[in-house]
A and B are shown apart, each in its own frame.
Chain A
Amino acid sequence: MLLQLLLLAACLSVGLYAAVRLGADRASEATFDAVLGAAAGSLAEEVRVAEGGITVDLPPATFSMLSAMGEERIFYRVDVDGAPVTGYADLPLPEQLPTALAPSFYDANYRDTDVRIAAILRSIRIDGRAAPLLVLLAETRQGQGAIAARLGNRAAVLGLAIFLAAIPFSLYFARSFLSPIDRLAEAVGRRGARDLRPLRHPAPSELQPFVTALNSFIARLRGTLSQTETFLAEAAHHIRTPLTVMRNEAELALRQSGEEETRARLRGLIRAADESARSASQLLDHATVLYRAEQADWAEMDLAKLVRDLVERFRPAAEMRDISVRLEVRGTLPTRADPVLVEAALRNIIDNAVKYSAPDGLVEVMAEAVAGEARVTVMDRGRGLAGVVDQGLKRRFRRGANVSDVPGSGLGLTIVEEAAQAMGGSFAIGPREGGGTCAVFSLPLL
């Protein structure tokens, strides 16, 4: 019986190891690939044709950020017309050329080390004809391998330890023990590649340490992956130009088409473009905020002036919807902060107020010194928060329950909150008396 139990323990540990390892492998590989692909894309963007032939302006930030994820080694190669132009001319080519639409990814051994390569195929105009441009970007995957291996190994060790500890108990105990673990393992195995939520599966108290440990690994993996956001930012702006063309063409077509069915589709297309652009912006803002918060690059600045300028910038967009913006600022409000962070925070607050205001609405912005703080208050008569507790709304990708008809990524309030915290300030948002929302952003006065 003991042997059987041991065998079972071993099998389950192996199963658990495989499930966790597979999940972690897939999740991290997908994320790392997305980043590598975007980096290769931004590299391809920098290859141009000028009078003297091909020019390349490699973006150092792309290399830095790619490397920052795990101190990886990086190799690249640029081919035009099938001949290497710059970079590592012996970097292995893909077996099948990628299509123009999507980068292809493959593993290879280069300079005695395993690398993951993203290949991108574009075409470039030289002397009036189109020539194929192939960009390869390779990185080592020590960071990814280490994360996945660590997670898997610890899961295996823990699984084994728990089962060995369980052996002294009777078979009866063992039986009631095994089924929840089975379910737990199944729950882990069933997860999608990107699902990195903590495990909330009901588990008997004996299994709590295991679940806690597993959750802490997941949290750590998630932390590492969140660094990719820094990098996604770099890539985000590259989708904007094609998005603009698409949006314009759709709008043109909409003007010229008389068929209501087509028109409805075109409207959907425009909405989708707006939504993508907005999400990209907010991701970018968020990454900027995370990055700059860490840099702590503060300088003396006048919050009052920044608020005045910002409100002026918003007026045309608000006026389009017949929304008035009333500004109440007196004197100066000297603070020590990062103007970029403050701008990102206030822009998101005012943007929210304008976005959720009804036509003919009024958004009020006040900046004043109160009790040693420079305080900016933004009030609207919009649809309010629908009773959702503000702490929840400030979390990433969380949106109110009553806003599904207005595009947004749900990152806005997170950006504000993180910016305020980084600079020693505070942010609160709540319902306004008589309907609407009142948001207060404060920084310490100098």
Chain B
Amino acid sequence: MRGLFAAASVRLVCGVLWLALAAAGARGFETEAMQDFGTGPQRIDVLSTTDIAYMQPVIDAYLVRHPDVTLHYVVASSQEVYRAVAEEEAPFDLVISSAMDLQMKIANDGLARPLPAALMSGQPGWARWRDLLVAVTQEPVVLLLGRDALPPGTPAPTTRRELIDLLRDHPDRFRGKVATYDPAVSGAGYLFAAQDARLSDAFWRLAEVMGRLDAKLYCCSAGMIGDIAEGRMLLGYNVLGSYAPGNDADGLRIVELQDYTLTLLRTALVPERARAPEAGAEFLAFLLSAEGQALVAEGAGLPALDADAFDRNPHLRPIRLDPGLLANLDQITRRRFLEEWRAALIQP
């Protein structure tokens, strides 16, 4: 893997990169960054939650083969990506997002276009939904341990139960030093928490324990990783592993819990309103090809799709890509879940 911060700064020099924190141009949704690649007459508009730096190697390789293409790449938060497609009907040709539930809602609500059969036929059942939605990466959601997280001589926890015991046994050490997502603010955090609650009884106990230790809540994985790397926090629960630097850097340790480790699927779809749907699907096909996947994995450091990983590591659980995800999006269900979460976290 590679350092996130270094990679992010390298690309500032090339192309036209600008930040548009407020509404950019005629758009009603907020974008974070955008960049044009290539100069060809065929334009492809890609909307994504993935930072430009991660996608650069794949886009460069694609443009070598298709010199006639100009690829307009826009980065936005997952909520804004959803708003752009579902509410503003912005004409993008390919939409890539890590928010599986929002992507599923777009597809379920009829706002996605069927993808070519040739593209879908090779995809395993867990990595796609109908011919509308397909996974491009699979990323484990992990426990991240800082350099001094463990008391001397203590082994790293391997299950949620062991994690609970560790936190309970050393309350003074971990007080104010535990980081996790704030599900009320972060879509990904909410998705992980809802999945956790579905898969394990231990989750609510863990939430109580974290609450007792005054856990700090974050909007994003990057913030947690930064604070853990710099020692302000000792331990992060439900960190998106793909964003964390490797095990050697900064003495951080990535732990995949053995009772189960959720695996997030970053998914792609072609919106109904696309101007050049064939071109969008073609770029997606390249992204899913052996070459594209290798570039995603090696060039960008995002884990490529690998069905064998689930056989080799039975603790890995892909988050199910099906309308079950819609249940969690229901506003009242969400409110109720967040109330329960708050009750577990903030005890009288």
Contacts and interface: CB of A to CB of B under 8 A. Distances in A.
A55 B325 CA distance: 18
Nearest to A68: B322
Given A67-B322, A67-B323, A56 B333 contact: yes
A112 B109 CA distance: 10
B163 to A, nearest CB: 20
B266 interface: no
Residue with the greatest number of chain A CB neighbours at <10 A, chosen from B129, B323, B336: B323
Contacts of B110: 73, 111-113
A74 B330 contact: no
B249 interface: no
B185 interface: no
Given A60-B325, A63-B324, A54 B198 contact: no
A55 to B, nearest CB: 5
B326 interface: yes
Contact of A58 (B109, B129, B320, B327): B327
B331 A63 contact: no
A60 B198 contact: yes
B332 interface: yes
A64 interface: yes
Nearest to A298: B314
Given A71-B129, A71-B130, A85 B326 contact: no
Nearest to A48: B336
Interface residues of B, number: 23
Contacts of A61: 324
A135 to B, nearest CB: 13
A226 interface: no
Given A55-B336, A56-B332, A63 B109 contact: no
B259 to A, nearest CB: 11
Give the interface size bracket for A toward B: 20 to 34
Given A73-B110, A111-B109, A56 B330 contact: yes
A214 interface: no
Contact of A56 (B109, B322, B323, B336): B336
A264 B45 CA distance: 75
A67 B324 contact: yes
A86 interface: yes
Given A71-B130, A73-B108, A63 B332 contact: no
A347 to B, nearest CB: 23
Contact of B327 (A54, A60, A71, A113): A60
B323 A59 contact: no
Nearest to A64: B324
B123 interface: no
Interface in A52-101: 54-64, 66-68, 71-75, 85-87
A56 B335 CA distance: 9
A72 to B, nearest CB: 8
Given A56-B333, A56-B336, A60-B198, A66 B327 contact: no
Interface string B90-120: 0000000000000000011110000000000
B201 to A, nearest CB: 15
Nearest to A62: B327
Contacts of A54: 332
Residue with the greatest number of chain B CB neighbours at <10 A, chosen from A60, A85, A111, A113: A60
Nearest to B110: A111
B324 A60 contact: yes
Given A111-B110, A113-B110, A64 B320 contact: yes
Contacts of A58: 326-328, 330, 333
Nearest to A55: B336
Nearest to A85: B332
Contacts of A87: 330
Contacts of A68: 322
Contacts of B198: 60
A60 B331 contact: no
For the complex, would chain A's binding face be called helix, strand, loop or mixed by DSSP majority?
Answer: mixed
A74 B326 CA distance: 9
Contact of B323 (A63, A86, A111): A63
A86 B322 contact: no
A136 to B, nearest CB: 14
Interface string B53-65: 0000000000000
B125 to A, nearest CB: 9
Interface string B122-141: 00000001100000000000
A113 B109 CA distance: 10
B209 to A, nearest CB: 24
A47 to B, nearest CB: 9
Interface string B313-343: 0000000101111111011110111000000
A68 B328 CA distance: 17
Contacts of A71: 129-130, 322
Contact of A66 (B323, B330, B332): B323
A73 B106 CA distance: 11
Nearest to A71: B130
A153 B46 CA distance: 41
A277 B320 CA distance: 32
Interface in B223-264: none
A87 B324 CA distance: 14
Contacts of A73: 107-110, 323
A67 B333 CA distance: 19
A75 B323 CA distance: 9
A135 B185 CA distance: 30
A59 B327 contact: yes
A59 B328 CA distance: 8
A87 B331 CA distance: 8
A83 to B, nearest CB: 14
A86 B326 contact: no
Nearest to B330: A58
Contacts of B109: 73, 111
B151 to A, nearest CB: 30
A44 to B, nearest CB: 14
Interface string A96-121: 00000000000000011100000000
A72 B129 CA distance: 10
8 contacts: A56-B332, A56-B333, A64-B322, A64-B323, A67-B323, A73-B110, A74-B108, A87-B330
Given A60-B194, A86-B333, 14 more contacts: A56-B330, A58-B327, A60-B327, A63-B326, A63-B327, A64-B323, A67-B322, A73-B108, A73-B110, A73-B323, A74-B326, A86-B330, A112-B110, A113-B110
Interface of B: 107-110, 129-130, 194, 198, 320, 322-328, 330-333, 335-337
Closest 4 CB pairs of A and B: A64-B324, A58-B327, A60-B324, A60-B327
